[in-house]
Structure 1
Amino acid sequence: MDSEKFIFCLEGVPDIENNFVTQVVKNLEEIAIDQGIASIYKTCDTIEGLEESLNVLLYEDHNFKDYEIIYLVMPGGPNNICLHDYYYSLEEIAELFEGKMKGKIIHFANLKVLDLNDEEAQYFLDITGARAISGYGSSYNKIASCSTIDKAFFSLYQENDDITEVVEELYQKHYALCKLLDFRLYY
């Protein structure tokens, strides 16, 4: 592999004015120290904040091409996210990201269920230009994916460009957790 793959993490929080360190920040710091994977972390509490953060990354960060994983840690229901008590469907998110995610992997933490049929997944990939979308079919809240499986997923992807091989290896090494959380990949 020629270059590192960085992570851009957007976490949905109730209020961005409350400045506190979340478990996600701690896990990203551990990933940086233990695995040498760099990341940018931002919070948002509205859809406008999500869009603004994305635009800053796209148009002002000259290293955007290095951020291959867009990591969304946001609550919600099946196939939607919730920001500031408003629910946004994945179709709305796809339109927000329209054409901006070329070659990226958009990964959702298990705070929401990702359960797409083939048509929905293809629509999301076609509209965004993303290489893949991944997440979990279970929002089993006793285990936060950001502290376990997500770390393993990011580490394995750092070592291998073939996303299907990464998922196969993830299942081999962490089968019980992958099954419990129902890890999913659409590509």
Structure 2
Amino acid sequence: MNQDKFIFCLEAVPDIETETTTEILQNLEQLALVTGIDSIYKTCDTIEGLEESLGVLLYEDHNFKNYEIIYLVMTGEENNICLNNYYYSLEEIAEIFEGKMKGKIIHFANAKPLDLTNDEAQYFLDVTGARAISGYGEVSNQLTSIQLDKVFFGLCQEEDDLVEIVEALHEKHYTVCKMLDFRMYY
């Protein structure tokens, strides 16, 4: 396992001034303890907060090249995210990330469905330089994707081939992959 790859998690919260330990943060801490996969966890409540967090990551974190996965935990709809009751399209997000995500996997938790046309996905990948964008077609209040996300992150550490990662994820957890409708665009 390559220990030099990290996860950057940005979770949307109602108010960043209110400190809470979310399920996502607890699971990322557990992932680090069990597998050694380290992560940076930040919260945001506005689009400016999202931009600022990514700016700090890009320009001040000397390990940025080692962040393989940008993990976004945000509500929204098929082709947008919601921050502080405002919706931003993935095209707008792509422009914020313009050329800055070379080789990264942008992964969305199932807090929002990810349902892109081939053209929308290709635009996002072309503009951002990302290697892939992944997430889930189904949002479930009863079943969060965090457990499957942790398996996915582990597979990304072990394997570079995106097709093999998706196949292995489906082999190990076919039922949950189908129930949450795991998707990857690359």
Instruction: Give yes or no for the alignment of 1:96 onto 2:127.
Output: no
**Mean alpha-carbon deviation: is it higher for 76-85 or for 5-14?**
76-85
Helix, strand or coil at the partner of 2:124 = helix
What are structure 1's unaligned runs of at least 5 residues?
A: none
Contact 2:81–2:87 (Cα < 8 Å) also in 1: yes
What is the CA-CA distance between 1:72 and the residue it aligns to? 0.1
What is the CA-CA distance between 1:12 and the residue it aligns to? 0.2
What is the CA-CA distance between 1:141 and the residue it aligns to? 1.9
Please name the residue that 2:168 is paired with: 169
Please name the residue that 2:26 is paired with: 26
CA offsets 1:100-158 (integer angstroms, 9 cap, x no match): 10000000000001011111110000000000000001112211101x11010001111
Please name the residue that 2:181 is paired with: 182
What is the CA-CA distance between 1:163 and the residue it aligns to? 1.5
What is the CA-CA distance between 1:4 and the residue it aligns to? 2.7
Q: Runs in 1 of length 4+ with deviation above 6 angstroms?
A: none
Helix, strand or coil at the partner of 1:123 = helix
Paired with 1:128 and 1:18, the residues of 2 have a C-alpha distance of: 31
2:127 is aligned with what amino acid? I
Contact 1:7–1:71 (Cα < 8 Å) also in 2: yes
5 Å matches for 1:108-119? Answer: 108-119=108-119
What is the CA-CA distance between 1:3 and the residue it aligns to? 5.1
Instruction: Give yes or no for the alignment of 1:48 onto 2:48.
Output: yes
Helix, strand or coil at the partner of 1:101 = coil
1:16 is aligned with what amino acid? I
Helix, strand or coil at the partner of 2:42 = strand
CA offsets 1:27-53 (integer angstroms, 9 cap, x no match): 000100011000000000000000000
What is the CA-CA distance between 1:89 and the residue it aligns to? 0.7
Contact 2:3–2:36 (Cα < 8 Å) also in 1: no
Paired with 1:135 and 1:105, the residues of 2 have a C-alpha distance of: 10
What are structure 2's unaligned runs of at least 5 residues?
A: none
Helix, strand or coil at the partner of 1:76 = strand
What is the CA-CA distance between 1:79 and the residue it aligns to? 1.5
Please name the residue that 2:6 is paired with: 6
1:182 is aligned with what amino acid? D
Please name the residue that 2:156 is paired with: 157
TM-score after normalising by structure 1:
0.97
Helix, strand or coil at the partner of 2:157 = helix
Percent identity over paired residues: 70
What is the CA-CA distance between 1:85 and the residue it aligns to? 0.5
Paired with 1:157 and 1:96, the residues of 2 have a C-alpha distance of: 25
CA offsets 1:4-25 (integer angstroms, 9 cap, x no match): 3100000000000000100000
Paired with 2:2 and 2:145, the residues of 1 have a C-alpha distance of: 28
- What is the number of equivalent residue pairs in this alignment? 186
Contact 1:28–1:39 (Cα < 8 Å) also in 2: yes
TM-score after normalising by structure 2:
0.98
2:35 is aligned with what amino acid? Q
CA offsets 1:140-180 (integer angstroms, 9 cap, x no match): 2211101x110100011111111210110000000000000
